[in-house]
Structures are given as C-alpha cells and as structure tokens.
Amino acid sequence: MYGLIGKMLAAEGARDDLVQVMLEGMVSMAGCLSYVIAIDPTDAKAVWITEVWESRALHQGSLALPGVQATIARARPLIAGFGERLETVPVGGFGPAVGG
C-alpha cells in the first residue's frame, strides 16, 4: 500500500473555500482506499490531506483523471503554497480504508 500525508496552505482568508472546492471535487478513484481532508486547528491557513492507496502507481494515475484535473484547476487560485509532505507505507488500521 501507499500513503501520503500533505499540508496545503490556503491563500489569506480562503481556507473554507479551498476545503469546499476539494470536498465538492471528491471523485471515486480506482485504488483509493481513503481520502481525508482536515483543517488544522492551530493554523488558519492549513489543510491536511491524508490518503491511502493500493499502490503508488494508482495514486500517480489518479492525477490524470478529468475530475481530479478539474478540482486542481478550481483550487489553484485558492492555494498559497504547500507545507510538509510525507509518504508512508500503511500496514493496517481501523475501518474499510485499511482493511479493518
């Protein structure tokens, strides 16, 4: 499996709009077991995205999907930058995302 945890920084005052665009743009993606969007309670600009995929290749392939491309285009003006980005290897957990 392949995991990704990334921090996105919204433009000043645009975090709620960015989150809304991302939530509206969520599409079914082959191999995606979990895709969670969360706001940072200590940083008014930060949005965290946590993903679990069957493989790194399926994650990479998802970036070419028309729905994902449309969401990226809508979100781009609301993004000021990016923070931490961590790749992980999920080994288990709770819930349908990781076989629990």
Q: For residue 25, what pLDDT is reported? A: 84
Q: For residue 95, what pLDDT is reported? A: 59
Q: For residue 96, what pLDDT is reported? A: 58
Q: For residue 93, what pLDDT is reported? A: 77
CB atoms within 10 A of CB 36: 11
Q: What are the pLDDT tens digits along the chain (100 aa)?
A: 999 999 999 999 999 999 999 998 887 888 999 999 999 999 999 999 999 999 999 999 999 999 999 999 999 999 999 999 999 999 987 755 544 4
Q: Which CATH class is domain 2-91?
A: alpha beta
Q: Where are the alpha helices (DSSP H) in 1-100?
A: 15-24, 56-62, 66-75
Domain boundaries, the chain: 2-91
Q: For residue 52, what pLDDT is reported? A: 93
Q: For residue 98, what pLDDT is reported? A: 45
